[in-house]
Amino acid sequence: MIIRTRVFDIADSRFHNLSDLARAMGISVSQVYRVREGKRGINEKFIVGAKMAFPDLRLDELFYFNSDMLPEKSMETSASGRYHRIVQRYNGAGP
């Protein structure tokens, strides 16, 4: 399972360009660009940054799982577990 994002679709109506989006997310323009182009995966820093840029949206409105990409069970568990740990940490429910 791979984490995908709706951030770029939503950002089109809220930010003028990638630089403005990156500034709101607190990460570099190059990281935002690489995620948008599929050259870099979505990591914890990107997820937390997206929530900073879109505080009015829930994480499930910003991100979703694409289970068609990797059918291997171990990868599904890993991505799913990582996502849930990030959500718990962000919401203050985890370590």
Buried b (16+ CB within 10 A) or exposed e, 49-71: bbbebbeeeebeebbeeeeeeee
Q: Would you say residue 95 lies in a domain? A: no
pLDDT at res. 80: 64
pLDDT at res. 78: 52
How many domains does the chain divide into? 1
Q: Would you say residue 53 lies in a domain? A: yes
Q: Would you say residue 70 lies in a domain? A: yes
10-residue stretch averages of pLDDT, the chain, 95 residues long: 91 96 98 95 95 95 79 50 74 61
Q: Would you say residue 58 lies in a domain? A: yes
Domain span at residue 20 reads 2-90
Q: Would you say residue 47 lies in a domain? A: yes
DSSP states along the chain: -EEEE-HHHHHTTT-SSHHHHHHHHTS-HHHHHHHHTTSS---HHHHHHHHHH-TTS-HHHHEEEETTS---HHHHHHHHHHHHHHHHHHTT---
Provide φ and ψ at 66, rounded to 5°. -110, 100
pLDDT at res. 2: 84
> What is the CATH number for 64?
1.10.260
Q: Would you say residue 19 lies in a domain? A: yes
Please state, in angstroms and rounded to a whole number, the distance separating the CA atoms of residues 25 and 14: 13
Q: Would you say residue 62 lies in a domain? A: yes
